[in-house]
């Protein structure tokens, strides 16, 4: 059984954004000639998250609005008392982003069958940027044969 690791790099372009990673993950699977197995997708940041859902423009806007209602950016949060913590000078007030992230997931595992991600018709692997724009990395690990 082969195990291959890879880091996806991406630049996010907004404060709260949802990015479809499915084609990049498919490319990784194809490049490594894994026909059957699984791919682990892991967010490497505490203010990003992952989910499998439909990548449809109006749904994405609904999801963003839902997350912002759960953890409004301008609410008072203890984590944002930066003067009470040892932080870099450019540290943002981002408690809301951490709270949004814990409502989602930091990883997903997708089966690989006959060289393809075994996702349903409307399913995509989505990265949620919750504190951007920033440079982000996502860890991929494929195992199989």
pLDDT in tens, 32-58: 999 999 999 999 999 999 999 999 999
CATH numbers and ranges of domains, the chain: 2-76+92-144 (2.60.120.460)
Average pLDDT score over residue span 6-32: 97
Tokens of 66: 């839902």
34 contacts 112 by C-beta, under 8 angstroms: yes
Quote the tokens at residue 38.
């699984």
Which SS3 state, helix, strand or coil, does residue 137 take? Answer: strand
What would the pLDDT profile of 70-118 be if each residue is shown by its tens digit? Answer: 999 999 999 999 999 999 888 899 999 999 999 999 999 999 999 999 9
């Amino acid at each position: 059984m082969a195990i291959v690791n890879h880091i996806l790099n991406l630049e996010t372009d907004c404060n709260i954004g949802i990015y479809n990673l499915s084609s990049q993950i498919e490319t990784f699977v194809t490049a490594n000639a894994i026909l059957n197995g699984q791919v682990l997708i892991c967010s490497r940041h505490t203010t990003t998250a992952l989910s499998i859902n439909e990548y449809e423009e109006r749904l994405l806007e609904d999801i963003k609005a839902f997350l912002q209602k759960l953890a409004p950016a301008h609410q008072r949060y203890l984590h944002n008392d930066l003067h009470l913590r040892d932080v870099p000078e450019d540290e943002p007030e981002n408690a809301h982003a951490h709270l949004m992230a814990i409502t989602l997931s930091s990883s997903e595992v997708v089966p690989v069958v006959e060289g393809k991600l075994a996702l349903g018709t409307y399913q995509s692997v989505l990265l949620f940027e919750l504190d951007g724009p920033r440079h982000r990395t996502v860890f991929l690990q494929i195992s199989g044969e």
